[in-house]
């Protein structure tokens, strides 16, 4: 039984590849005529996408701004940050830092707790969190005090340089700073 009905009673809808393509592009806000506008549109686009991957690199523009600019008319860089960090409608988390709707946070806390407590997740992340606990505490305090800060806001005099694709300073590891909540 499936949902109270037998599998023989389920109707199958068949669509062609063009319809499937239009549906997927439309759902993501990329099909002609399905664009949002302004700050409200930015929120709608972020909810429709389900998560917005963040990238600190700024070659032409940050990837999150390019992603939203392609979906939202009158988008300007910083709108997603206002929604996430000022209006608190979204939260960021993950080894590949992404922004998700705040109403999903209770569900993600289960995953966060499992990763923090060692039940799952990347053991390298837990090791970095353990080895750099003082730096994490300092960064959290600075973030709480000042809000958004740059990697350049952190001194390196007393810290050990680490070679990683994420950078050589512990301040470059966003998953440690915003990943697992403090115990």
DSSP per-residue codes, 113-141: HHHHHTSSS-HHHHHHHHHTHHHHHHHHH
pTM reported for the whole predicted model:
0.64
Compute the chain's Rg from CA coordinates.
20
Mean pLDDT of 121-128: 76
pLDDT score at 166? 53
User: Could you give the strand order of the β-sheet that contains 90-93, starting from the edge strand earlier in sequence?
Assistant: 52-53, 98-101, 90-93
Q: Say how far apart CA 101 and CA 6 lie, in whole Å.
A: 36
- Cβ neighbourhood burial of 65 (10 Å; 0-12, 13-18, 19+): buried
State pLDDT tens for residues 128-169: 888 999 988 888 888 888 887 777 776 655 555 555 555 555
pLDDT at 19: 93
Alpha-carbon torsion, ordered 104, 146, 80, 179, to 10 deg: -40
Taking residues 21-50, report their average pLDDT. 88
Question: pLDDT at residue 180 above 70?
Answer: no
Cα gap 125→103, rounded to integer Å: 25
State pLDDT tens for residues 63-116: 999 999 999 999 999 999 999 999 999 999 877 789 999 999 999 998 888 877
pLDDT of residue 164: 54
Pairwise pLDDT comparison (124 vs 45), residue with the higher score: 45
Whole-angstrom Cα distance, residue 74 to residue 69? Answer: 8
Query: How confident is residue 181, by pLDDT bands cut at 50, 70 and 90?
Result: very low
CA distance 156 to 141: 17
47 band by pLDDT with thresholds 50, 70 and 90: very high
Instruction: In whole angstroms, give the CA distance from residue 175 to residue 136.
Output: 10
DSSP 34-58: --EEHHHHHHHHHHHHS-EE-----
Average pLDDT of the residues in 5-18: 82
């Amino acid at each position: 039984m499936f949902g109270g009905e037998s599998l023989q009673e389920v109707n199958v809808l068949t669509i062609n590849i063009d319809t499937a393509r239009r549906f997927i592009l439309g759902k993501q806000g990329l099909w002609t005529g399905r664009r949002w506008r302004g700050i409200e549109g930015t929120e709608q686009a972020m909810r429709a996408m389900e998560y917005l991957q963040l990238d600190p690199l700024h070659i032409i523009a940050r990837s999150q701004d390019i992603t939203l600019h392609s979906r939202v008319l009158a988008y300007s860089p910083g709108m997603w940050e206002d929604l996430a960090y000022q209006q608190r409608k979204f939260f960021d988390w993950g080894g590949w830092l992404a922004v998700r709707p705040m109403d999903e946070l209770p569900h993600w806390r289960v995953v966060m707790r499992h990763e923090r407590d060692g039940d799952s997740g990347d053991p390298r992340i837990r090791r970095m969190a353990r080895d750099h606990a003082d730096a994490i505490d300092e960064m959290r305090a600075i973030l709480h005090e000042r809000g958004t800060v740059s990697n350049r806001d952190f001194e390196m005099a007393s810290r050990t340089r680490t070679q990683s694709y994420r950078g050589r300073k512990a301040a470059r590891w966003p998953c440690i700073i915003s990943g697992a909540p403090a115990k």
